[in-house]
Structure 1
Amino acid sequence: MDEEAGPVVRPYALVGGRTRSSGDALDLVALVTATGAAPSGDFVPGPEQERILSMVSTATPVADVASELDLPLGVVRVLLGDLQDHGLISIGRASASERILKEVINGLRAL
């Protein structure tokens, strides 16, 4: 208990101590999109997963989800993996055109 912040829960407690989800490793730039499906079986999304579902109505990068939730990337990957396992989100790859990649390389060289 932190007097100023109130109760503090360690991030790993949100995912039951797990450090990996059953799915594939998610890239920072992978795009997450809610499928609109209802939770199936006995799975009930937690508050953080509900926030994820509300923020990914349009394709959103994994890094942005982690930033918005203010949670470590590893925790967010587990939360996303659980949602994907239950068909509540889809994960896509970000496509970068050759022109954009060349601009990034040129920008880095300019530094």
Structure 2
Amino acid sequence: MAASDDEVWIDHAAGPLIRPYTVNEGRTRPTVDLDLLSLVASTGWASPDLDPEHVRVLELCHTPLSVAEVAARIRLPVVVTKVLLADLVDCGAIATQAPPSLAGAVDRALLEKLLDGLQRI
């Protein structure tokens, strides 16, 4: 069934109507373990045959950004963004850094005061 000339395939407020999984060619699992707070940054290397989405991510990552921030800026779901980032890590175009551990930075007394205040509500 061919699309008629009257059909609208773009919503100007939402952008092109393309399913996110088409960006990743149906892949839903990244090959690299990335946390939402993992930092990603361009290494300066780029292949000439990258997809437009990969190029867009590389342009953003000239300065280190979190995975969550990259997803927000390219306006794609986090899972889709993680697959794009993993592709770039695999080809050496992006380097990652795990988020800092917060285990030692947590103030137990502050957490207990917070819990006490929440229980009073």
TM-score computed with the length of structure 1 as normaliser? 0.78
CA contact (8 A) 2:40 2:97 kept: yes
C-alpha deviation, 1:102, in angstroms: 3.1
Q: Provide closer, same or farther for how the CA distance between residues 47 and 3 of structure 1 changes in structure 2, counting only shifts above 3 A.
A: closer
Aligned twin of 2:32: 24
SS in 2 for 1:64: helix
Unmatched segments (≥5 aa) in structure 1: none
Unmatched segments (≥5 aa) in structure 2: 1-7
Runs of 4+ in structure 1 off by over 6 angstroms are none
C-alpha deviation, 1:49, in angstroms: 1.3
Q: Distance in 2 between matches of 1:60 and 1:10?
A: 25
C-alpha deviation, 1:90, in angstroms: 0.6
Are 1:37 and 2:45 an aligned pair? yes
C-alpha deviation, 1:3, in angstroms: 5.5
Aligned twin of 2:77: 72
C-alpha deviation, 1:88, in angstroms: 0.2
Report matched runs for 1:88-103 at 5 Å. 88-96=93-101, 98-99=104-105, 101-102=106-107
1:39-82: per-residue Cα shift (whole Å, max 9, x none)? 2xxx7222221111111112111010001111001100110011
CA contact (8 A) 2:39 2:65 kept: yes
Aligned twin of 1:55: 60
SS in 1 for 2:40: strand
1:77-101: per-residue Cα shift (whole Å, max 9, x none)? 11001111110001111225644x4
Q: Distance in 1 between matches of 2:10 and 2:37?
A: 37
Q: Larger relative contact order (C-alpha < 8 A, sep ≥ 6)?
A: 1
**Matched AA of 1:82:** D
